[in-house]
A and B are shown apart, each in its own frame.
Chain A
């Protein structure tokens, strides 16, 4: 088993921040932490080559760096790529993750290690196996044996790793088909009994962790406020022109309501596949209250209604997609000078 190891300028002993623009260098054999890792691997595998690359160089010239590393991979033909460990070094973690993605595209497995809050984990967890480390290099003496153990398991299992907890890597947020001995209901009851008995159990479906934001300060007045409308109820122009998915939405829509004073059966409908659509298809104002907001605009209760609304389907839609949609929609509303927004959910 031949390993190509990716490390940054610091662990490659080229220097610290002042050497962060160090371009890609290919060295034979292990360097820095690779030496200790190589010893731990014993007969299982050998680090035959090391790529050293400055963190800033990689991140500021990503396309060039990725192309260069792809060439090296073609040339070295490793059986496995190891990147890091990167701990909580953001640029290094992102570089390790990106190398993992490249490896995966080239059909080679990548094993890395980093702190769970390193952005490299969130960005690239699906295309590499990442061992959890602490947030600083002081954890090297634990991180390396854990990475070595995962590499050995990888070799023993013929390249097919098991579940994250079983083989010692962080969850990749992937669903994999598998056969279980017991049916779901029995497993759920087993878990419940364990929970009630205060024993340890492992959920098969971890709930997402939601962040919290401070309440934003109130508007001084509604009279000059521009109000935006956003919904997860799937209200779309009739015919759903952008084909927003009826569940697990991959996109949101931005639609004009300029000159529209009422949503009717002829103009709008819902794309949402998770609730009875009859009422909304008849009169989408029951989900997106354009009619009364136009009245309130005309009467001067509010300054104006923003002439675009934003919509997606909140039916099995992932938290990560929702966060992405939310951030983009919020930015568009801010750019349009919207002072406050009404969000409706079904």
Chain B
């Protein structure tokens, strides 16, 4: 890899721009995609690699290209700097996810409780408006407090977030759905919310609940059961 390509690739990744490193095989000539002069076939193959988040080798006009997809990390927005978040956040970071914690209660949302993670003390609706959840973002509410959870879920439902989870029992969740319905959300849209959040592994402790939530996140991300 030439220093020029490494520098450009590093800059694009730092800017969280999706990019593909294409390597001509077996020779090893490299270029970054998409590029205006690369041709439709190669650019489209690069886009597919990014969409599927899958690297692989393709043959185009008799030339093999290895396409390495570099997507930005998946993002996880955790609303509620609570005890379960303290278990969830380091596990999510370990999975290679880009984690942000949101909690306006400053006694909870401290850097001591959440080292090396972005902690925002804005109200959840304002925070989500700024963070703009996309199709590679998960929003997980953990506060149990309608004042904090509801505005976050409202914004999450209006976004492309691919995973929305809300901590709370079935009864709590039913009441939550009633409130969200009053805000104008339909039942189909609200079916996107995983509530109670997490796979049912009979989790009890905070770390166990964190595992169940992240297991559900992984199943959604990898399309488990849909292949």
The answer on A and B forming one complex is no
- Where the two chains meet, the residues of B that have a C-beta atom closer than 8 Å to any C-beta of A are none
- Where the two chains meet, the residues of A that have a C-beta atom closer than 8 Å to any C-beta of B are none
